Structure 1
């Protein structure tokens, strides 16, 4: 006796329809994903690597993907041709290497990938941009117009996430509120990311000790500069004895000691020469036949 085929339940019917749709319509399959970090920071003059990785889920590559880069400064778009190759490159991981970055490299970099996969076919997918933030060395010294205060400044990419912090012996020194507010306002009002602006902060001297000026990006430390004052320099009646060097209170070069050390061998040579000459004078003259 022939058995009647079992009828599918409603749940089984829904799952079967979903599987059939995925097989028949490859366009509904999940696309490949381009991974980019949101922010990369570097000092001016350094080599920078901007990561870009293609991640595939259920698709398989039929050809080698092609990576493209675009640089965005506000509404301005510039196509970037990556001339430099990186050791980290693979068919699905091709970071952009920028050598000796300058302020002109600042902006948002978009990574785009053209690929051909099975079963989806040929298409292009984009990342979500990486913002390159740059900074320069800090200038940290006693203020020129007011020697009872210390001034710190540095050039950075126009971004409100940058901030300066001044510490004395490990403790944060309250800075001028108006200076911090002006810096944030300038960064918010800036439009051309290729041009840096000067971030500055001042704070009152709090006696002798170790002063630090730190450049922060959010909560991360980018760079710092040190200023060390002894008791004489901290209370010197307003005289600036630290100049503009990051480390101060250094003893002067002992040039007198160096001269005395160099005179010792010269003196020894003179004494030996005089002894030799006196010996020759005491010797009787040779008789001539």
Structure 2
């Protein structure tokens, strides 16, 4: 009898576990089994100081909406009435636009313009929703906005053999600065870990390396494993014969911008000459045939 009871309990436990596994699938497989309305926003966004940034917020649902969702975008780092992004409070007036102005759209993303250091922090997308079955609010998982300034990558003013990289960023331990030479990471000779100054809303990261030889040096800013921005410095060692140093060029690039390559002018005279060669040969053959017939 005890064996039978234990067997039934064991069977019941297995059914319970399987039931928990199956339960999420029933939401999608059985119409009307459960309402599913979720709000999605990315956990982290990065943008350059003074640039515009899109802050995504999208609704996913399986119910009929009776009225258009009412959107609330909030800046959580500052808990005041002036922290509303949408409908914009006085602080954000003229700086925030909806990407889709259609009230019935489920894309509730916004465009935050001219991002400043004070905009760094956490944001929340929240919606008031009325469906056929219920009236409720849904919110996303918060988005952390992180800001970085223009990167400086050049020779130091006091030492021409030292290459220095610096960038201001929002305070976060995930930001890392690295310098590479022709694809190989270099050991830095001087660096600043990014200690925060109380009066400033950012920290300064800096790295310096000794110039080994000519070639392409690249300074990269990463947030965890993601490349945020980079700057390229082309170094040409002094030419001993000419007595003059070739110009060294530093170029700061976004991760979406390809490095520009200086090209040479098109050799149009060569093209024309190549075209004239078969034409001249053809004319010579035609002239020879005409002379033979005559």
Alignment TM-score, normalising by the size of structure 2: 0.62
Deviation of 1:150 (Å): 1.3
Counterpart-to-counterpart distance in 2, 1:201 and 1:30: 53
Partner of 1:32: 37
Within 5 A, what are the aligned runs for 1:137-148?
137-148=150-161
- Contact 2:64/2:131 (8 A) holds in 1: yes
**Which residue does the alignment assign to 1:95?**
109
Return the offset for 1:76: 4.2
Residue 107 of structure 1 pairs with residue 121 of structure 2? yes
Provide the alpha-carbon RMSD of the alignment: 3.4
| Corresponding residue number in structure 2 for 1:276 | none
Partner Cα separation in structure 2 for residue 158 and residue 30 of structure 1: 40
Q: Is the 8 A contact 1:141 1:242 kept in 2?
A: no
Deviation of 1:102 after TM superposition, in Å, equals 1.6
Query: d(CA) in 2 for partners of 1:32 and 1:85?
Result: 21
* CA deviations over 1:262-284 (Å, ceiling 9, x no partner): xxxxxxxxxxxxxxxxxxxxxxx
Per the TM alignment, residue 143 of structure 1 is displaced from its structure 2 partner at its CA by 2.4
Aligned to 1:60: 64
- What are the ranges of 5 or more consecutive residues in structure 2 without an aligned counterpart? 1-11, 28-32, 89-95, 252-294
Mapped to 2, the partners of 1:233 and 1:205 lie a distance apart of 15
Unaligned runs of 5+ in 1: 1-9, 23-27, 235-239, 248-289
| Equivalent residues in 2 for 1:206-221, closer than 5 Å | 206-221=212-227
Give the whole-Å Cα distance in 2 for the aligned partners of 1:208 and 1:99. Answer: 40
Cα contact 2:239–2:246 (8 A) shared by 1: yes
Selected match of 1:228 from 214, 231, 234? 234
SS at match of 1:84: strand
Instruction: Report how far residue 79 of structure 1 moved.
Output: 2.5
Q: Which residue number corresponds to residue 127 of structure 1? A: 140
Who is 2:55 aligned against?
50
From 164, 169, 172, give the equivalent of 1:151. Answer: 164
For 1:246 and 1:52, the matched residues in 2 are separated by 38
Structure 2 residue matching 1:104: 3-state secondary structure: helix
SS where residue 118 of structure 1 aligns?
Answer: coil
Alignment deviations for residues 193-244 of structure 1 (CA, whole Å, 9 cap, x no partner)? x81221111122212221111111222222211222212189xxxxx9978x
Deviations along 1:52-76, whole A, 9 cap, x unmatched?
Answer: 111113x321111111011122x74
For these two proteins, the number of residue pairs brought into alignment is 210
User: Are the aligned partners of 1:69 and 1:111 in contact in 2 as well (CA < 8 Å)?
Assistant: yes
Q: CA deviation at 1:128?
A: 0.7
Could you tell me whether the CA contact under 8 Å between 1:208 and 1:233 is conserved in 2? no
What does the per-residue CA deviation read over 1:77-102, in whole Å, with 9 as the maximum and x for residues that have no partner?
52223441214865321102111212
Q: Which has the larger radius of gyration?
A: 1
Match of 2:204 among 184, 198, 207: 198
The whole-number CA distance in structure 1 between the counterparts of 2:99 and 2:146 is 21
| Equivalent-residue separation in structure 2 for 1:147 and 1:138 (angstroms) | 19
In 1: Cα distance, 2:173 partner to 2:150 partner: 18
- The answer to whether the 8 Å contact 1:210/1:226 transfers is yes
